[in-house]
Amino acid sequence: MDLRALGEFGLIERIRARVGVTHPATILGIGDDAAVIATPPSGRALVTTDAYLEGIHFRLDFAAPEEIGAKAATGAISDIAAMGGRPTHLFLTFGAAPTTAVDTVDAILDGLLAVASRHGAHLAGGDTIASPERILIALTAMGEAAGAAPITRAGARPGDRLLVTGALGGSLAGLTILLEAPERAADPAFAAALLRHRAPVARVAEAALLAARFHPTAMIDVSDGLASEVGHIAAASGVGFRVDLAAVPVHVCARAVASALGRDPLALALESGEEYELIFTAPADDVDAIAHVLHAETGTPATAIGEATATRAVVARDAGGREAPLAPTGYRHF
Ligand code: ADP
Ligand code: MG
């Protein structure tokens, strides 16, 4: 069956029937002209929107539809996490051609709703449109701060340490295999990189823990690439950074791809987007406690990779101590 046969209202009803997890703040979900949601106790709601367009953000030949739906939800939820928040609600604007198989749409929804459920987010509304050829998945996520206040990009102070969760490079490594060596995509040596590309995870528990226990001075998620994200914190906070390249945690799966394809693993780690790891700043005295508590309670490592400076430049320091500007490489739309 295709969407033409199911119809707009058939699809909306199908989505409504599938929504498993609801949220205590939902007064009215899917079905009326608008949802009704209780104001968070803090009086401040986090709201963010992310759009994923077939051919630009995903390809149906590079990932399963479940993975595409899951990754869209992950990207939207990660922006809430990056504010030190927990997601509460999602709104989905879905566009597809009338000839799209309902099975494909169901699979996208399966992945999307599984990620939403895992993080306690309720799909409370959206819009449904016909799109001439490409699938559109546009998600609005709402959330609330897990700590006393949201964590912005703007609070880093000179002397603060720069930290990152997990390890970087895997997402771009997986994409590089798909684009440049698709005949090797089934090689088990690259399975981990493909998984990082197709099925990244939003660091919601980690962000909530950081926000509730440590309150980082600034935070951002890695959607475009480390080098680019550090530049955003620098610009918003009015500081610079010195990034120690030798300290940047390169994912072991990125090293495997780099050595197979003759790439620089560090460049993969600096440029890889859609990692959804967290980059944050904190006073130097908090670093050991943060790394210890985060690892003990979530299993996720946090690594100190540099320091905020009063001079506004973002520089990279290599293992030999040489410094050079850190170019904000990574994904760019235009
Ligand atoms: P309207 O014509 O007023 O825009 P719709 O018929 O588009 O109303 O939507 C009816 C209800 O279904 C609304 O509650 C809306 O939020 C919900 N809805 C529509 N499309 C989606 C979707 N893709 N995902 C979730 N909810 C949706
Ligand atoms: Mg509508």
Chain segment 317-332, per-residue pLDDT in tens: 999 999 999 987 766 6
Cβ contact 79:220 at 8 Å:
no
Query: With a 6 A CB cut-off, is 17 part of the ligand 1 pocket?
Result: no
Dihedral sign, CA of 17, 101, 275, 329? negative
Question: Considering the chain, what is the average pLDDT of its residues?
Answer: 96
* Res 329: pLDDT: 75
* Res 332: pLDDT: 65
Query: With a 6 A CB cut-off, is 92 part of the ligand 1 pocket?
Result: yes
pLDDT band at 333 (very low <50, low <70, confident <90, very high): low
DSSP annotation of 269: H
Instruction: Out of 3, 11, 30, give the residue to mutate to test ligand 1, the one with the largest number of ligand atoms within 8 Å of its CB.
Output: 30
Question: What are the pLDDT digits (tens) for 246-259?
Answer: 999 999 999 999 99
- Alpha-carbon distance of 63 to 199, in angstroms, equals 9
3-class DSSP assignment, residue 114: helix
**Average pLDDT of the segment spanning 10-24:** 93
Which of residues 333 and 94 earns the better pLDDT score? 94
**Average pLDDT of the segment spanning 33-53:** 95
Q: Which has the closest alpha carbon to 268: 323, 330, 220, 316? A: 330
Task: Say what the pTM is.
Answer: 0.96
- Residues above pLDDT 70, as percent of the chain: 99
Cβ contact 8:98 at 8 Å:
no
The 3-class SS string of 200-249 reads CCCCHHHHHHHHHHCCCCEEEECCCCHHHHHHHHHHHHCCEEEEEHHHCC
Dihedral sign, CA of 168, 174, 176, 179? negative
* Res 331: pLDDT: 67
Cβ contact 268:258 at 8 Å:
yes
pLDDT band at 195 (very low <50, low <70, confident <90, very high): very high
Ligand 1 atom 5: the closest Cα is on which residue?
A: 127
Let me know the angle formed at the C-alpha of 126 by 124 and 131, rounded to the nearest 5 degrees: 155
Question: What are the pLDDT digits (tens) for 105-154?
Answer: 999 999 999 999 999 999 999 999 999 999 999 999 999 999 999 999 99
Query: With a 6 A CB cut-off, is 32 part of the ligand 1 pocket?
Result: yes
Kindly list the protein residues that place their beta carbon closer than 5 angstroms to ligand 2, a single-atom ion. 127
Query: Who's near 50: CB < 8 A, 6+ residues apart?
Result: 72, 75, 76, 79, 138, 139, 141
